[in-house]
Every structure is written in structure tokens, then in C-alpha cells.
């Protein structure tokens, strides 16, 4: 049975409403930190503000300098038994997080979910460098 224009418009409206609702459920932000050249194990937290339980997320982080060397990603207490996969290439970090089962959802709330850990190059220049999520 072919879909007529009215049914298509209703379906499109429902899909758009679902996208609008889904985008209002989760907000991810970073932080402002200070570090000196040569610093080791500098922590950059990634915050999640979610009004509903979340079973996973994917984020791409662009950082604007070669002076940072990602050495690890640590989950915080908000992530219980989650699988974290990441790829870091050319100052673009892609992270996917998926909880392992229904009982380990990221419960509604706010606070850091991940800590990115960097070493700062010994020849880093002073300046402000941006992280875009």
C-alpha cells in the first residue's frame, strides 16, 4: 500500500518530534583547565547532564593543538560496568560508550562521566586551546 502525502507528513512530524525530544534529554560539556608545559596526567572531565536514564552515547572531540598527547580515558562513578571504545587521530577523538546491561544505565543527573587524561608536550607554547564536542 502506497503512503499518501498526509500519512507521510504525519510520519515526518512524529520523527521530527522524536528527534527534538531526544536532543533535549542529554547535554555534554567539557571544562576549562590550566596546565603547564611538560605536565603529566592532566585530567580533562567530560560532563553529562541527562534528564532520563541513558544506555550509551557517542561523542567526537576536536582539540586544537598537537601539544596534548592523550594517554587514557577513565570512567567516573557515573559509568558502572560500561564498554568504552575510542579512536584518537589527528586531534580528533571519537568515543563510544555503551552500558553492558539494563541494570547499569547512566541514571538521570549531572556530573562528569569520563576523564580524558593528557600529557602536555615539554615544548608547548602558552596559549588558549579549544576543545569542541
Query: Could you report the per-residue pLDDT of 28-74, keeping only the tens digit for each?
Result: 888 888 889 999 999 999 999 999 888 888 888 888 888 889 999 99
CB 74 within 8 A of CB 117: yes
Reported confidence tier of residue 24, pLDDT bands at 50, 70, 90? low
Q: How far is 103 from 5, CA to CA, in rounded Å?
A: 42
- The predicted structure's pLDDT at residue 45: 94
C-alpha cell at 57: 552515547
More confident residue, 133 or 20: 133
- Select the more confidently predicted residue: 129 or 47: 47
Question: Shortest CA distance to 107 belongs to which of 55, 57, 53?
Answer: 53
Question: Which run of H or of E encompasses 9?
Answer: helix 5-23
Cα separation, 64 vs 80, in Å, equals: 31
Q: In what order do the strands lie in the sheet with 92-99?
A: 82-89, 92-99, 56-63, 131-132
Give the model confidence (pLDDT) of 88-126 as tens digits. 887 899 999 998 887 888 999 999 999 999 999 999 888
Q: Determine the Cα–Cα distance for residues 92 and 46; give it in Å rounded to an integer.
A: 15
Higher pLDDT, 14 or 110: 110
**Using CA atoms, how far apart are residues 84 and 74, in angstroms rounded to an integer?**
9
Q: 46: helix, coil or strand? A: strand
Amino acid at each position: 500500500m502506497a503512503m499518501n502525502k498526509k500519512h507521510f507528513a504525519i510520519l515526518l512530524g512524529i520523527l521530527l518530534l522524536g528527534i527534538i525530544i531526544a536532543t533535549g534529554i542529554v547535554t555534554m560539556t567539557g571544562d576549562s583547565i590550566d596546565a603547564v608545559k611538560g605536565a603529566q596526567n592532566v585530567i580533562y572531565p567530560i560532563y553529562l547532564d541527562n534528564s532520563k536514564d541513558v544506555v550509551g552515547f557517542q561523542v567526537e572531540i576536536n582539540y586544537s593543538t598537537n601539544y596534548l598527547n592523550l594517554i587514557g580515558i577513565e570512567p567516573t562513578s557515573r559509568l558502572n560496568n560500561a564498554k568504552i571504545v575510542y579512536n584518537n587521530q589527528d586531534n580528533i577523538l571519537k568515543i563510544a560508550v555503551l552500558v553492558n546491561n539494563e541494570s547499569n544505565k547512566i541514571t538521570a543527573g549531572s556530573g562528569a562521566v569520563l576523564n580524558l587524561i593528557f600529557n602536555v608536550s615539554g615544548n608547548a607554547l602558552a596559549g588558549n586551546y579549544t576543545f569542541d564536542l
